[in-house]
Amino acid sequence: MGGGSQREHPFRRWTDSKLQELQLCVVADDLDDAEMGEIKNEGAMVEVSPVVKLSLNSVVGLTTPDTFKTKGMVEDREIVSMIDCGATHNFISLKLVEEVNIPTAETTNYRVIMGSGKAMQGKGMCKGVTMELPVLTIVDDFLPLELDNLDMVLGIQWLLNQGTMIVDWKELAMTFVVGDSNVILKEDPSLTGMEVSLKMLVK
């Protein structure tokens, strides 16, 4: 239809096409073993969705109007996580996986394709990772990936499981129900200025 406004509802922005230039895609790879190199298909594999996306904001830790950061704990390590409506799945930094020795299950082959067209190979899934946030405990699966200034990303994979949410992007807060209680998750003010110049993305 015509050129109507796309700002009908806050939740619309989660899949807005304007995010396309800032997305990473993880796509299932149907190439044979010779083309795949080091990835091996041994034993039971965890299925990875054919296409998953991660906004470039998550990769570099860049705060935008539809993302916000909060502190938490994994094992005994303090972490910085981002809630990102432009990410279809949850992600965890390879550095954190190594530091706290998080087990990684084998998955079907997939590639990570940058918005610029640069491709890298994805591998594995960290299943049932426990993340302690200030107001709740999250147990979910995460795809390992190199992230700058961030340890974990919570995407639509997690958000959809929370049911109805009230999101205030101006105040960077979301309210939802866990059990019989209302939970309010807010941006940590100390992380608001933790951004990366876009010049770092052009190399």
Number of domains composing the chain? 1
> Each residue of 13-60: pLDDT tens digit?
434 443 333 344 444 444 344 333 333 333 456 665 444 555 544 444
**What are the C-alpha distances in Å from 69 to residues 58, 65, 79, 174?**
10, 11, 10, 12
Q: Which pLDDT does position 118 carry in this prediction?
A: 56
Average pLDDT of the chain is: 71
> Each residue of 58-91: pLDDT tens digit?
444 444 555 788 999 999 999 999 888 777 789 8
Q: Does 123 reside within a domain?
A: yes
Q: Does 24 reside within a domain?
A: no
Q: What is the CATH number of the domain that holds 66?
A: 2.40.70.10
Q: Provide the whole-model pTM.
A: 0.68
Q: Does 194 reside within a domain?
A: no
Q: Which domain holds residue 149?
A: 51-162
Q: Does 67 reside within a domain?
A: yes
Q: Does 79 reside within a domain?
A: yes
Residue 133 CA to residue 127 CA, distance in Å, equals: 18
Q: Does 13 reside within a domain?
A: no
> Which residues have a Cβ under 8 Å from the Cβ of 175 and sit 6 or more positions away?
165, 166, 167, 182, 183, 184, 185
Q: Does 35 reside within a domain?
A: no
Residue 48 CA to residue 143 CA, distance in Å, equals: 9
Q: Does 130 reside within a domain?
A: yes
Residue 203 CA to residue 198 CA, distance in Å, equals: 10
